[in-house]
Amino acid sequence: MIDKMLRAAELGLCDHCLGRHFASMGHGLSNAERGMAIRVVWTMLTGRDYRPVGPEECPVCRGLFSKIEKYAEMAIEALSKYEFETFLVGSRIPEELEEADRRVAEELGTEPEPLKRELNREVGKIVSARTGKEVDFEDPDIKVIIDARFDFVELQVKPLFLYGRYRKLVRGISQTKWPVPALGGRSKYGTSVEELVAGPVMEAAGGTEHLFHGMGREDVDARMLGNGRPFVLEIRNPVKRSLDLEALREEINRRAGGMIEVLELRPATRRDVERVKSLRPPKSYEVGVRIEGGVGREELEDALRRLVGVIEQRTPTRVLHRRADLVRRRRVYEAELVDLKGEEAVIRVKCEAGTYVKELMHGDGGRTRPSLAELLGKKVEVKYLDVVWVHDEEVE
């Protein structure tokens, strides 16, 4: 190993690069300190004059490590407008530097610490000392990326995730924004649950973009009542991360003016997004229908009992323009009569996620079987549909 050190010292490497090639030796030393020690040993054993080599003279890093302080200051300046507790430094360096390092390693038979790792660590130490923030290798609030190819710093800010449940109290608004170019990008339905929830949060967090992840969605003309539908709001590039969530919840509800109500709001993670998107809990609905010609209570209740079980639904005609024409099997768990007055009935249905409840009632020309219309032998018209409970507690 001494022979390798002496050969390395002959190559004119800076202390950082010299030390990197023997990074496993000298516990507790920085690479620069390790390189200096090797150079001292070389001086003592060869009897030649000690001559330090600065990074600007180094044939490998070519001045890269002379910019550590500069990059740290650039990082601190970029970070200054953000609220964060943890960070991590990464880098992109010119390929020719890495190639020069590989050639030296092959010549010496060493396994050096990568250039990037040295640069990241040394810049990170300065940033941490001056900001008081901690390095986090697993899930930092912000990643600082040093682009040494073009001498600039960019930030990758971890999104802010908030979990909540919403109730949609009016009909005629969509869950997510539905921009229409002819309307100048405004939503097709005027507004959406997403916009009503995200507006106050974006203002408070100072983000640049938002995404709304719902546990399924209800039709535009359906209300979402009961315990509310779970969602995760994702805010991209937030300037602030510590928010008064209860005050935000109250502000969302105030501005919504009775259109929606957020029942809870709490911190979340990307894992919550995956959970919300993947879970498909049963749901309970209240459906208002008109049965042409009317029907007796006993006959209707008997038909609803026969509706419970497995049904087959071919893709409804109303969504054929955007979904594949397939036959899907779904389970109806409960179907009961709530009220009956003449031709008008109110029915409560609990069914598997993905069930087309309107078609379960009117049959869609035989594309859903069985349906209430088929079992009664009468035309059934859906007057309204409300989601009254999301049974996510059953699939936790």
Identify which of 269, 175, 179, 285 has the alpha carbon closest to the alpha carbon of residue 226: 285
Classified as helix, coil or strand, 329 is strand
- Give the dihedral sign, CA 212/214/217/220: negative
Identify which of 140, 154, 156, 155 has the alpha carbon closest to the alpha carbon of residue 88: 140
Residue written as token pair 């049965």: 291
**Is 219 a catalytic site residue?**
yes
- Sheet strands side by side (includes 142-147): 134-135, 86-92, 142-147, 152-157
Q: In sequence order, what E strands does 54-181 have?
A: 86-92, 134-135, 142-147, 152-157, 160-168
The two tokens of residue 106 are: 């092959």
> Residue 83, Cβ neighbours under 10 Å: how many?
15
- Report d(CA 233, CA 260) in Å as an integer: 15
* Secondary element (H or E) of residue 288: strand 283-291
Determine contact, residues 181/132, Cβ cutoff 8 Å. no
Cα of first residue to Cα of last residue in the chain, in angstroms, is 58
Marked catalytic residue, from 15, 219, 272, 386? 219
- Report d(CA 13, CA 7) in Å as an integer: 11
- Report d(CA 339, CA 297) in Å as an integer: 9
Catalytic residues, by residue number, are 219
